[in-house]
Homo-oligomer: A and B are copies of this chain.
Amino acid sequence: MKLEQNTKILIVGLGLIGGSYARGFSKRGYRVSAIDPDRSALEFALGEGFIEKGSVLPDPALLREADLVIFALYPHLIVPWVKENQAAFAPGTVLSDVTGVKACVVYDLQACLRADLEFIAAHPMAGREVSGVRNADDAIFENANFIVVPTDKNTFRAIQICRSVGETLGFARISSLPPRAHDEMIGFVSQLTHCIAICLMNCSTSEHLVDYTGDSFRDLTRIARINETMWSELFLLNKEALLQQMDSFMEEFAVLRELLANSDREGLKEKMRLSTARRALFDRPAEGGNQE
């Protein structure tokens, strides 16, 4: 279900994701405004038609007219922002976010929220290796997952509005997970993979790799280009879950190393058969690329 066409949307934080939301919504005829301390980001978004109004400060007039507010801020900034500014929202305003970790934000935020407002968390699993509103592009949502992250406090209405954000912006799959299960999953699927890419990129000092890298190495290191401020924060906010995933990966890696050290051909093949069968489960038909 699409978001109601007359919904007035306010984006707080006009970076890559906030900008891509603004672009995606305005393209589909929604009225979008934005708050960001960076005047040039607002001017860019106004010039491109992503937003119709912008303010460098949390202008109470902008806040009051919003039906739906999306926080696209660094996680640690959201709760303080809401505490300071929530008085200006109209009753019934729905708040949501785009944060990559949830348990550390959602409960605190719901606990401090005015009783006539509702916060429903969401995680658009999309991004780019570059940042900022100038790189905003809602095409990044096309093949991506959108996860609604409700708690026991959320109403059916807000959950549906949150789903419709994902549907309106054209996400490929929309699913739902409670905060802790979300963080556990993301520790594995996203954060562990970034840890691996970083280490793979850092563990050899050869400057001449570029002459020999094939698609495998490219694929495994693409996400080694990383916004260190955001990702160090995400890692630390999900520390326990991520440590557990790193340990389980290291354990598996040590087993494979021992099979090789012992020249255990059958053991190696068994591991490869398992990984092949599992990976086949989520192959996309068009998926190609080289294996060298």
Contact = CB atoms under 8 A, between A and B. Distances in A.
Interface of A: 100, 124-129, 140, 143-145, 147, 173, 175, 177, 185-186, 188-190, 192-204, 206, 209-229, 231-233, 235-236, 239, 242-243, 245-254, 256-257, 260-261, 263, 265, 268-269, 271-276, 278-284, 287-292
B278 A201 contact: yes
Given A203-B251, A217-B190, A275-B201, A290 B125 contact: yes
A118 to B, nearest CB: 25
Given A125-B290, A140-B290, A220-B196, A212 B228 contact: no
Stoichiometry, as copies per complex, reads: 2
A289 B222 contact: yes
Given A202-B252, A217-B189, A175 B211 contact: yes
B211 A193 contact: no
Given A144-B214, A211-B175, A276-B228, A253 B250 contact: yes
A205 B14 CA distance: 38
A231 B272 contact: yes
Main secondary structure of the interface of A (DSSP, over half): helix
Contact of A189 (B147, B216, B268): B216
A260 B275 contact: no
A198 B271 contact: yes
B269 A225 contact: no
A278 B210 CA distance: 10
Contacts of A143: 215, 290
A200 B196 contact: yes
A272 B213 contact: no
